[in-house]
Amino acid sequence: MNPILVEALRGGTVESSHRGALAVIDAAGEVVVAIGDVDRPIFPRSAVKVLQAIPLVESGAADRLALTDEELAIACASHNGEPAHTRVVAGMLAKAGLDVDALECGTHWPYLDSAARSLATAGGEPSALNNNCSGKHAGFLCVACQRANGGDLARFARGYVAPQHPVMREVTAALQAATGYDLGTAPRGTDGCSIPTFAIPLKNLALAFARVATGQGLSPARAEAVTRLRRAVARSPFMVGGTERFDTRVMQQLGERVFCKVGAEGVFCAALPERGLGVAIKIDDGNNARAAEVTMAAVIEAFVPLDANEAAFMRDLSDVTLRNWNGISVGSLRATHALRRACDRRRA
Amino acid sequence: MNPILVEALRGGTVESSHRGALAVIDAAGEVVVAIGDVDRPIFPRSAVKVLQAIPLVESGAADRLALTDEELAIACASHNGEPAHTRVVAGMLAKAGLDVDALECGTHWPYLDSAARSLATAGGEPSALNNNCSGKHAGFLCVACQRANGGDLARFARGYVAPQHPVMREVTAALQAATGYDLGTAPRGTDGCSIPTFAIPLKNLALAFARVATGQGLSPARAEAVTRLRRAVARSPFMVGGTERFDTRVMQQLGERVFCKVGAEGVFCAALPERGLGVAIKIDDGNNARAAEVTMAAVIEAFVPLDANEAAFMRDLSDVTLRNWNGISVGSLRATHALRRACDRRRA
């Protein structure tokens, strides 16, 4: 039974609560914090996009196509589908000699409501470019471009989301190497954007992000790839999420000192390079991002050295004032004492 | 510790789970099903709108203003803010001699994304009419109109959302009488639409809905009021929610045999008149409606006599196929065996 990590209060009374598990681990595999069941395999969903983007750099595609920081960042993103995002994705596809029709992620309206309304007002309809995973998929197609090596790219790329496609095999191999977990026997599901997702223990996910933080435990080429991806996101944090998004806001504030990435169903992973630590969170109910975000904010507060302004910024994300439609404060969303205590014991 | 009532599966593996509590009770107060902690006070939020609408009928306002079924139904609603909803609310306000400016619920874009986009495309901006609670608030203003009794209505009505306002006192008295719970000492919070919300045990909430189902345990005037409100919703189920909404779909299918109403933070209440039962559900994490809906669907399956078509319809709501952006089935959302067993033991 996982403990309560986050509580929602209304008028001073606990209204709802979120149980979950958290692992903070260093690159040597030493467990710094383990709350709840960190051995049960969970689907990391979009939280591991930076690991899935390793082949984009390692294959040489990023160099050959002269991908920019924005393009590398959006390959690691679950973006809002805002115009700035779709423009960058379209540019990546063009560099590979492809267009929106090559994307196999499916189509949805932009996640950001105001962007969806603007698109509608302009008489537009969403395309696969607006899909929050379109940057990741454009990255896969750049790998396909590299591997097709002048052959029939459209034909080679078709079906790239399938587990047995050469591109997806390469992506899965990078994920397996980073997590040190056998994905051949792991439970497998299909993700929202149609690629495979593998269930992996939080312990292994946190280890993978400690490797992202330090490069330790990865081949030199992969260590270089994750460092390059991490820095690209730090330089273009808007690409990884967008307006009002937790990941974007935190990385705009803290730069390279935190690399964090949300996943669907209450998952959150992070690399903390200053401390050489990796973080992996799964909220049991997985219902939306609120509890995973509060947990991540509390972990960052505990493990990243912050000045007063930064500390106040992060506290607003780990102890969130809830307001109603009239702007009246009606309650809060906060990290539990149990979560803070478990982190504080190990922050030294 | 409340048990797991609903699980989300991906590729056959449990990805997320929802704990919660459930009470099914008859009008004599006999507990038919109690799962989890049914004695802990929880904020019922919008699930009790039908109880908060009792003064609208009891005061004579509904008769004096000749309110239609649609208008009574929307007084019990958390609607999508679609054009059909805002039109009915505007009409109610006009009958009371008021307009949108009298509403104190706050403004938000329509809950239904396509309605929000249509409004934006037409160059519109949302008003308080689009607030999901605007019908309930219009009902409060109709009570104010009745009580002002020809005096200065605008002045009398101002601040009607405050706990000490005469209209809100009348609403609170009806809620207390229906639930049999002392709201003077109950934890109090402010709801999303700025009226007070009181924490009440699920047992008392289920009892209140058994009273809605049967009229037993209420004064004759209140029994008549809840019957009239319940029937108005059954005749106009679109008003209580709208396009794609669970409450609307279930009542379109089952008519007067189920009165159900969702609330924020994982609350769901229902009256089952054929069985004389009341139902109250709270999902611990409260994060969105998915788990409360699945639980309610399983309760309806267990306690409402259904023909084969109706049973298939309800099973699609208690064992929901989850599809991704490409329409591929990726998993399901389902009632747990523990929940089904607890209901089945008592369905006879």
Mean pLDDT of B130-151: 97
ipTM: 0.96
Per-residue pLDDT reduced to its tens digit, B288-318 = 899 999 999 999 999 999 999 999 999 999 9
Contact assignment for A324 to B284 by CB distance below 8 Å: no
Q: Residue B78's pLDDT is what?
A: 98
A276 Cα distance to chain centroid: 18
**Nearest-neighbour CA in chain A from B12: distance (Å):** 8
The pLDDT of residue B348 is: 53
Closest CA to B156 of B172, B139, B142, B174: B142
Please, what is the Cα angle at A190 between B266 and A96, to 5 degrees?
120
3-state secondary structure of A119: helix
SS3 B116: helix
Q: Cα–Cα distance between A15 and A338 in angstroms, integer?
A: 18
Interface contact flag, B10 A190, Cβ < 8 Å:
yes
Task: For residue A45, give the chain B residue with the closest CA.
Answer: B15
What's the CA gap between B219 and B177, in Å, rounded?
Answer: 9
Q: Which domains does chain A have, with CATH numbers?
A: 4-344 (3.40.710)
Tell me the chain B residues in contact with residue A19 when contact means C-beta distances shorter than 8 Å. 19, 284-285
What are B198's two structure tokens? 């009181």
Instruction: Give the integer Cα–Cα distance in Å for A137 and A243.
Output: 21
**Alpha carbons A102 and B198: distance in angstroms, whole number:** 54
* 8 Å CB contact of A192 and B330: yes
Phi, psi dihedrals of residue A36, rounded to the nearest 5°: 75, -165
CA distance linking residue B290 with residue B285, whole number of Å: 11
Q: Which residues sit opposite A80 in a β-bridge?
A: none
List of chain A residues with pLDDT < 50? none
Give the pLDDT confidence score for residue A168 in this predicted structure.
98
Helix (H, G, I), strand (E, B) or coil at B247: helix
Put simply, the answer to whether B190 touches A12 (Cβ < 8 Å) is no
A217 backbone dihedrals φ, ψ, rounded to 5°: 85, 0
Q: What DSSP string runs through B301-338?
A: HHHS---HHHHHHHHHHHEEEEE-TT--EEEEEEE-HH
Closest CB to B16 among A187, A284, A331: A284
Q: Say if residue A107 is exposed, middle or buried (CB neighbours under 10 Å; 0-12, 13-18, 19+).
A: middle
Query: How high is the mean pLDDT of chain B?
Result: 97
Burial class of residue B84 in the structure, from the number of CB atoms within 10 Å of its CB (0-12 exposed, 13-18 middle, 19+ buried): middle
- Residue B331's DSSP bridge partners are B10, B322
Q: A325 and B107 in contact by Cβ < 8 A?
A: yes
Position A344 scores a pLDDT of 87
Is the pLDDT at B207 greater than 70? The verdict is yes
pLDDT at B347 over 70: no
**What pLDDT is stored for residue A347 in this prediction?**
62
Q: How far apart are CA B258 and CA B299, in angstroms?
A: 11
